[in-house]
Chain A
Amino acid sequence: MAESSVLRWRGFSRRIEQQAGRRLAIALLFSAVVVLLNLCLGKVAVSPWNVMRILFGEGSASLSFIVEQLRLPRLLLGALIGGALAVSGLILQAVVRNPLASPDLLGLTSGASAAAVLYLSSFATLWGMGGLSMAAMLGAGAAALAVYGLAWKQGTSPLRLVLIGVGVSAMLAAATTFMLVFSPLSTTLSAYVWLTGSVYGAGWPAVRALATLLACLVPVLMLLSRHVVVQQLDEGLARGVGVRVQWLRAALLAVSVALAGAAIAWGGAMAFVGLIAPHIARQLIPVGFAAQAWMAALVGANLVMLADLAGRTLFLPLDLPAGIFVAVFGTPYFLYLLIRQRQ
């Protein structure tokens, strides 16, 4: 049933589950199809053949502008955001040992939202829209620090983190609503687009910035990943086999916060990706954190890419925020999870 191959060379050894490898390969193929669809479809349809030619530096100038300057950066940004949110959620769910945890739970999303709305209503006219990402990231980090600090009592426990996270989130959500009510209509509108989550008008600079950030986090996560399953044992057992639980938990939370914070900063509050993608990943790959993380990244990326594709094409000429369709795809699945959880 669970066939695995063993890789051993001098001081290096790994066990690789074959099923996980096969499924990752299939997910990668699926992603390639989604990418191609995204590049082809839109207000102007481009044939797959032309897309390939454009990617290899040929094809007409107008089409290659659409594909390379409009669709490709938007697609990549969406994929990076989805992947980061998904992996962030996977880490959180493992650390707090609660399958219903998500970046929302530790106040990340609500912290970023509150900071973003504050920025839009008070500072955007002064400093322009460029600072929005930074503000959102700071908000996410501050909220996570607040939750972690308040939950600290000679170490943290998952339960305290969750309870305090819910409380802080509720408070921040109230603050966000309060600010929205008292700001001018134009601010409220742009705030709502941000709160729904959108990759509209994404350009290469945003892709480069987010990709650089994520490229720093991935190696850290690869170093930590072997500790994740052990950390899921009872605290006593985990420490008994030699895990420094508190230290590890803090490091994992930090990576999770950084991933989600970065994603939210550039994509807005795309709820659900961080909650749902990890579940799909765990269903496809039951055990093994490293493989699950890669799968979650692919699932999250595809979820956002498909949502954005739907938002761009289903209601032409309207271009709806991807966050709406993440919710449209996500809500039924979430309900299904809840119902299954009860049984």
Chain B
Amino acid sequence: MTSIESHNLTLAYQRQTIIESLDLQVPRGKVSVLIGSNGCGKSTLLKSFARLLKPQAGTVILNGADIQRKPTAAVARELAILPQMPVPPEGISVRQLVALGRYPYQSWMQQWSADDETAVARALNRTSLDDLADRPVDALSGGQRQRAWIAMTLAQETELVLLDEPTTFLDLAHQIEVLDLLRELNREEGKTIIMVLHDLNLACRYADHMIAVHQRTAYAQGTPADILTEALVKTVFDLDCRIIPDPFFHTPLCIPFGRDIPR
């Protein structure tokens, strides 16, 4: 079962082709992580999944239909996207920010329905932001702010959530906090999560399904244990490393070498 898939997808900025003739199926109900070197096109691919980028050729199929042909509001009720480092509107409180996630359900007549109210309350509760709900978003710490953004995507009540590097600029403790939250949402709420992550070891720990983007295509995909090999890291990142099993979580652990090659 897939939630989102691409057929013969080609993505380009002006003349530069980023992704070429990609056929990809992302499993439903799993945490999928896109990895790859800088500029390999993983963020671009994520954008096209969210209909933020029009494909040059091919289609993105969301729940069985071409995403380009769906009405904007319908797409917004099926998938939520959290771009990298978004900037909140000035002076907005956490509750008001989360309430913006209800936009695709509202109309001029219906601007604050009972459903809106419960969805926002639930999203705040789910992300443990009840006590901070009336604080301005600007006043929050990095980790809290990222939780507020995630709460906004939750209020959107979509089955599919896309995130572009949700852990960037967070310290390690907050990275783990955010990733734990996302996995919890996957396990308990049945959300399908697709995200771009930079940290290979965290990606291996949290991914059910891993997609390595390289040479304008999905170079390898599968469970981290299946695909993350020394050869793959060498090809995709041009990096020598050793892969050992994580002694606690048993997922692959990548030890990068760099200039110092141990004997």
* Interface membership of chain B positions 75-116, coded 1 if the CB is closer than 8 angstroms to chain A and 0 otherwise: 111011111001111111101100011011010111111101
* Interface membership of chain A positions 118-145, coded 1 if the CB is closer than 8 angstroms to chain B and 0 otherwise: 0000000000000000000000000000
Which residues of B sit under 8 angstroms from A233, Cβ to Cβ?
86, 88-89, 100
The answer to whether residues A15 and B89 also contact, given A237-B82, A240-B50, A287-B96 and a CB cut-off of 8 A, is no
Question: Which of B82, B86, B88 counts the most A-chain CB atoms under 10 A from its CB?
Answer: B86
Task: Report A1-31 residues with CB < 8 Å from chain B CB.
Answer: 1-2, 6-8, 11-15
- Are A242 and B75 in contact (CB-based, < 8 A)? yes
- Are A240 and B81 in contact (CB-based, < 8 A)? yes
Task: Report A277-311 residues with CB < 8 Å from chain B CB.
Answer: 282, 286-287
Interface residues on chain B, number (Cβ under 8 Å): 40
Give Cα A69–Cα B127 distance, bound, in whole angstroms: 62
The answer to whether residues A11 and B110 also contact, given A2-B134, A237-B81, A244-B72 and a CB cut-off of 8 A, is yes
- Are A229 and B89 in contact (CB-based, < 8 A)? yes
Number of residue pairs spanning A and B whose beta carbons lie under 8 angstroms apart: 92
Q: Closest residue to B50 on the A side, CB-wise?
A: A240
- Are A12 and B92 in contact (CB-based, < 8 A)? no
Give Cα A287–Cα B100 distance, bound, in whole angstroms: 12
- Are B103 and A14 in contact (CB-based, < 8 A)? no
Give Cα A6–Cα B92 distance, bound, in whole angstroms: 19
- Of the four ranges (under 10, 10 to 19, 20 to 34, 35 or more), the interface on chain A belongs to 20 to 34
Give Cα A239–Cα B80 distance, bound, in whole angstroms: 10
Q: How far is the CB of B190 from chain A (nearest CB, A)?
A: 20
Give Cα A233–Cα B112 distance, bound, in whole angstroms: 19
- Are B114 and A8 in contact (CB-based, < 8 A)? yes
Which residues of B sit under 8 angstroms from A239, Cβ to Cβ?
50-52, 72
Given A2-B95, A11-B110, A14-B111: 13 more A-B contacts, CB < 8 Å: A2-B134, A15-B111, A234-B83, A237-B83, A239-B52, A240-B50, A241-B80, A241-B104, A241-B156, A242-B77, A242-B104, A243-B72, A244-B72
What are 6 A-B contacts with C-beta separation under 8 Å? Answer: A13-B110, A13-B113, A15-B112, A232-B89, A233-B86, A236-B47
A residues at B contact (CB < 8 Å)? 1-2, 6-8, 11-15, 99, 223, 226, 229-230, 232-234, 236-237, 239-244, 282, 286-287
